Amino acid sequence: MAKPDNRADNVEHLQKSIDHTIENMNEAEDYLGEHADEISPQEREQIESKNERRHESLNAFRSEIKDEAENQQ
| Rounded CA separation 53/11 (Å) | 21
| Count of domains for the chain | 1
Is position 49 within any domain? yes
Whether pLDDT at 69 is above 90? no
Q: Taking residues 6-19, what's their average pLDDT?
A: 87
For 22-68, the pLDDT digits (tens) are 999 999 999 999 998 999 999 999 999 999 999 999 999 999 999 98
Q: Residue 14's pLDDT band (boundaries 50, 70, 90)? A: very high
Q: Taking the CB of residue 58, how many other CB atoms lie within 10 A of it?
A: 15
Whether 21 contacts 58, CB under 8 Å: yes
For residue 72, which of 2, 31, 25, 12 has the smallest C-alpha distance?
A: 12
Look at residue 28 and tell me if it is in a domain.
Answer: no
Residue 53, domain extent: 45-73
Note whether residue 16 is domain-resident: no
Among candidate residues 3, 15, 7, the one with its CA nearest the CA of residue 73: 7
Question: What's the rounded Cα separation, in Å, for the pair 7 and 64?
Answer: 12
